[in-house]
Chains A and B, each alone.
Chain A
């Protein structure tokens, strides 16, 4: 059974290693600050008793005052999963560091988030639109996009 790792275990470890990175810890999701996302993800991937080496999905949601980018990581060896969330509070040019260097599976999904929601990922090797054509006006999945 893939047990969702309770957020408190992760939070205590993260607080010890990266003080100040964790903003909030919900019931099963951990909210981290955008600039420490890469360090946290690398720590979660490489530490022996955590070893979250499989990225399930990358998605984004538009709450009107902020964007939220959500990652779900699974550990195949320990059979556990954890959800990481990152927020950006600007609407004009929101940026989040990219995990495409760590997890190759994030490559297409981050391009999709850029294409449909407009969030740029720094450090992505090929930040282009993936589904819509270059020259499409706007980002359709935003709540304030009108056709």
Chain B
């Protein structure tokens, strides 16, 4: 890049504040960007504008009462957080979830993954300049997923549906046929959507070779999820450390080669297709029986600590729960995906222009509720 020094013009770098209320910062995220003309020299991310103190609030509620709080962490896909928390407490208390409960958990987790990727891709294309059209097309699919989840548990967004030991209610009878009708429609929509955007020259110009994250930097910065897989790290917790019943399903893990924005976009599209594969297999295998283990509403796990992680749509989401045999957790730490994925932002962005900063930031796909907790 030609800096202004080469043009023998005396300039200074200046600090631009991309403030907490900004249309493309995906929530209240603030950056102090040091610019040399239009080229970014350094950024300092500042968060905490949505810090609600969830870890401290969890010490004042019972184990079951913490589940609505975990809903609001990564609010784009709420049941995923419930999943990770319930796994951690079940590990601590030694509770075994019955089969039907496990299948419902996997079905809802994969539905949330599809919904999250719809939003992530839509928001990234919004930042790239396609002002709303792909976003609204993908939002229609998200609304259909909302309808399915409302049929299942009554709430569109903050479902609060999982409990320690299973689910809180059973699946209604009309849910599985409705899901079976939704999947082929989603497949044909994804094919149509992909056809328009896969070789779009504007997307190529804006996202190819932009914001490259090399593989060793990604490992050093503890990146996980689609961002890491786009950089070539073949790591998916559903295959490497199977939790729940994920070892019964056949699915592939898409990876990218270079680690630019376009690779992250492709990885997310392919992951949506793999999720529909898992859903098709799960629908056929759901057994009858109890959906929840016989666990009291206010449980007292024995003294100890446990860590459980799931492969969320954004990456590795984990809960570290410490118990001292009382009705509330002694300490609950949330290994938050988005906060750790932001570690690499500074290195990814140096040398690019301000417009590229927006699309690079959009391609990491963060949610401020999870960053700030």
> So, do A and B actually touch in the complex, CB under 8 Å?
yes
Interface residues of A, Cβ cutoff 8 Å to B: 1-2, 53-57, 59, 61-62, 70, 72, 76, 79, 83, 103-109, 112, 116, 129-133, 140-141
Proximity string of chain B (326-363) to chain A, C-beta cutoff 8 Å, 1 when within and 0 when not: 00001101010001101110000000000000000000
- Given A59-B320, A59-B333, A105-B340, decide whether A130 and B221 contact each other with a Cβ distance below 8 A: no
Q: How close is B191's CB to chain A, nearest CB, in angstroms?
A: 34
- Chain B residues near A1: list those with CB within 8 A: 240-242
Measured in the bound complex, the distance between the Cα atoms of B222 and A140 in whole Å is: 26
Within 8 A of A (CB), among B44-86: 47-48, 51, 53, 55-56
Nearest A residue to B50, CB-CB: A131
Q: Is the CB of A105 within 8 A of B322?
A: no
Q: How close is A12's CB to chain B, nearest CB, in angstroms?
A: 24
Q: Is the CB of A76 within 8 A of B221?
A: no
Q: Is the CB of A108 within 8 A of B343?
A: yes
CB contact between A61 and one of B307, B331, B340, B344 (< 8 Å): that residue: B331
- Chain A residues near B5: list those with CB within 8 A: none
| Interface status of B372 (Cβ within 8 A of chain A) | yes
Q: Is the CB of B318 within 8 A of A57?
A: yes
- Given A1-B240, A54-B222, A105-B222, decide whether A62 and B48 contact each other with a Cβ distance below 8 A: no
Measured in the bound complex, the distance between the Cα atoms of B110 and A52 in whole Å is: 30
| Interface status of B233 (Cβ within 8 A of chain A) | yes
Q: Is the CB of B221 within 8 A of A105?
A: yes
Overall SS of chain B's interface: mixed
Interface residues of B, Cβ cutoff 8 Å to A: 47-48, 51, 53, 55-56, 217, 219-223, 233, 235, 240-242, 307, 309, 316, 318, 320, 322, 330-331, 333, 335, 339-340, 342-344, 372
Measured in the bound complex, the distance between the Cα atoms of B323 and A4 in whole Å is: 21
Q: Is the CB of A132 within 8 A of B56?
A: no
- Chain A residues near B48: list those with CB within 8 A: 129-133
Q: How close is A67's CB to chain B, nearest CB, in angstroms?
A: 11
Nearest A residue to B320, CB-CB: A59
Nearest B residue to A29, CB-CB: B305
Measured in the bound complex, the distance between the Cα atoms of B345 and A107 in whole Å is: 12
Measured in the bound complex, the distance between the Cα atoms of B343 and A70 in whole Å is: 19
- Beyond A2-B241, A56-B335: 9 further Cβ-contacts under 8 Å? A1-B241, A57-B320, A83-B307, A103-B220, A104-B222, A104-B344, A131-B51, A131-B372, A132-B48
Q: Is the CB of B241 within 8 A of A107?
A: no
Provide a sorted-by-A list of 26 A–B residue pairs whose CB atoms are within 8 angstroms.
A53-B220, A56-B222, A56-B318, A57-B307, A57-B318, A57-B335, A57-B340, A61-B322, A61-B333, A62-B331, A76-B235, A83-B307, A103-B220, A104-B217, A105-B220, A105-B221, A105-B223, A105-B340, A106-B222, A107-B343, A112-B339, A131-B48, A131-B51, A132-B51, A141-B55, A141-B56
Nearest A residue to B344, CB-CB: A104
Q: Is the CB of B241 within 8 A of A76?
A: no
Q: Is the CB of B340 within 8 A of A79?
A: no
Measured in the bound complex, the distance between the Cα atoms of B184 and A48 in whole Å is: 48
Q: Is the CB of A108 within 8 A of B318?
A: no
- Chain A residues near B331: list those with CB within 8 A: 61-62
Nearest B residue to A27, CB-CB: B304
Top 9 nearest A-B pairs (CB, nearest first) are A105-B222, A131-B48, A2-B241, A59-B333, A131-B51, A57-B335, A104-B221, A104-B220, A105-B221
- Chain A residues near B335: list those with CB within 8 A: 56-57, 59
CB contact between A105 and one of B241, B242, B330, B343 (< 8 Å): that residue: B343
Nearest B residue to A57, CB-CB: B335
Q: Is the CB of B55 within 8 A of A116?
A: yes
- Chain A residues near B342: list those with CB within 8 A: 108
Q: Is the CB of B340 within 8 A of A108?
A: yes
- Chain A residues near B220: list those with CB within 8 A: 53, 103-105
Q: How close is B135's CB to chain A, nearest CB, in angstroms?
A: 29
Nearest A residue to B222, CB-CB: A105
